[in-house]
Chains A and B, each alone.
Chain A
């Protein structure tokens, strides 16, 4: 599965859009980009995933560059409850154990 690189931390003002970048330059053609987040002391929570096209759901939008070497997770109107560690993960469908390889993630702090 692709190694991903994310900034260690980011701040965002409450009500503004939070744009979290992720580099995955070694991603292969069959690997999806998954985003999970972990709010303090809780289990990780799925946010969104995509392969080539941009994706949107009720939580966030995912913008993937045409060459698939990077992506951006967008939280359109960040709230204090979005303060969490956000993990960008490259994963092939049906890899052994359906394993998610968690890196360090980005610690997003949403400030009033």
Chain B
């Protein structure tokens, strides 16, 4: 199993540009989520999904959209990038709500 994969590893955007961060898992996990981690800080939940077709907002959802058309994939879309969205983004998955979570390697995003 590849586990949780994320692409790209690094990305530089200009203010106002849009992009999609990709996340995929091959463990047949129902739960998937996106976190962001600002320098020196803990992770904060952006959006999550409890299964295909179902998504909900986390702690810091503004400026981001998600969709879950398949069990495997959970892309995160930045609609109009802002410098405040400069961060490291982690995708995670788990089998069910009470289970441990598996994290991807992260995407480092710089918005100029």
Q: Which residues of A contact B (CB under 8 A)?
A: 32, 34, 41-46, 49, 87, 93-105
Which A residues are in CB contact (< 8 Å) with B104?
43
Would you call B43 and A46 a contact (CB within 8 A)? no
Give the residues from 12 to 71 in chain B that come closer than 8 angstroms, CB to CB, to chain A: 31, 33, 42-45, 48, 50, 56, 58-59
Sort A-B residue pairs by CB-CB distance and give the 8 closest, nearest first. Answer: A102-B42, A43-B103, A93-B98, A94-B97, A97-B48, A46-B100, A102-B43, A98-B97
Would you call A104 and B105 a contact (CB within 8 A)? no
CB of B13 to closest CB in A, whole Å:
20
Would you call A105 and B42 a contact (CB within 8 A)? yes
CB of A32 to closest CB in B, whole Å:
8
